[in-house]
Amino acid sequence: MNTRVEKAINDQIKKEASSSQFYLAMASWSENNGLNGTAKFLYAQSDEERFHMLKLVKFVNERGGRAIIPSIEQPPIEFDNLTKIFELLLEHEIMVTESINELVDICLQEKDYSTHNFVQWYVSEQLEEEASARSILDKLKLIDGDKGGMYMFDRDLEKATVLATPPADGGAQKA
Ligand code: OFO
């Protein structure tokens, strides 16, 4: 595997792992603050980021490279409030998008077209994740800290997560 591309993917593996830990910390904070629907959403986000990381690990190894499993920094324990959490999440996703764009660039410079093709999945995923964080932030701005509004927001996020989360068996067993 092209060494420059391999290094860039390994850097991305670390970013996906850090995202997963960061969102896990947000989920845990939400759960401890009575926001169970938000916690469910963020636990699912954390799982998704771990899946993004695993997909890269397997890709590198299958292509004859060596995936490096990184150590990651401890994420924050405390967050100011829900709006702050989703602002941080959006900021983080924008940083990840920039990093994916750099990876795309490196693939093109190195003429590694199959990795370029593989990375397109991440390009679309980032578009979706940024859009989702922006729409959640818009809702939080509308609610503006109103308690009833927050209750509904948390409940709606839980419903949306249940609908969006595939069953653990991937839907193999249908009732
Ligand atoms: Fe949204 O961070 Fe993964 O790709």
Q: What is the per-residue pLDDT across 25-67, written as a single tens digit (0 to 9) for each?
A: 999 999 999 999 999 999 999 999 999 999 999 999 999 999 9
Tokens describing residue 62: 């299958």
Task: Tell me if 28 sits within 8 A of 43, measured CB to CB.
Answer: no
- Return the minimum-mean-pLDDT range out of 16-20, 49-53, 158-162: 158-162
Q: Which atom of ligand 1 is nearest to the CA of 16?
A: 3
Ligand 1 centre to CA of 122 (Å) is 7
Q: What is the mean pLDDT of residues 151-169?
A: 81
Q: Rounded CA gap, 141 and 145, in Å? A: 8
Is the CB of residue 126 below 6 angstroms from any atom belonging to ligand 1?
yes
Ligand 1 centre to CA of 74 (Å) is 18
CA 95 to chain centre: 11
Is the CB of residue 119 below 6 angstroms from any atom belonging to ligand 1?
no
Tokens describing residue 76: 């924050």
DSSP annotation of 2 reads -
Q: What is the mean pLDDT of residues 80-91?
A: 96
Tokens describing residue 121: 């999945």
Residue 169 reports pLDDT greater than 80: no
Q: How many CA atoms lie within 13 A of 109 on its CB side?
A: 10
Residue 100 reports pLDDT greater than 70: yes
User: Residue 171: pLDDT band by 50, 70, 90 thresholds?
Assistant: very low
Q: Rounded CA gap, 18 and 98, in Å? A: 15
**pTM higher than 0.85:** yes
Q: Supply the pLDDT for residue 166.
A: 62
| Domain 3-164 classification at class level | mainly alpha
Compute the mean pLDDT over every residue in the chain, rounded to the nearest whole number. Answer: 93
Burial 111-137 (b: 16+ CB within 10 A, else e): ebeebbebbeebeebbeebbebbeebb
Ligand 1 centre to CA of 93 (Å) is 7
CA angle 30, 31, 33 (to 5 degrees): 65
Q: Select the more confidently predicted residue: 114 or 160.
A: 114
Q: Supply the pLDDT for residue 163.
A: 72
Residue 160 reports pLDDT greater than 90: no
Q: Supply the pLDDT for residue 164.
A: 73
Protein residue with least CA distance to atom 3, ligand 1: 49
Residue 25 one-letter amino acid: A
Residue 9 one-letter amino acid: I
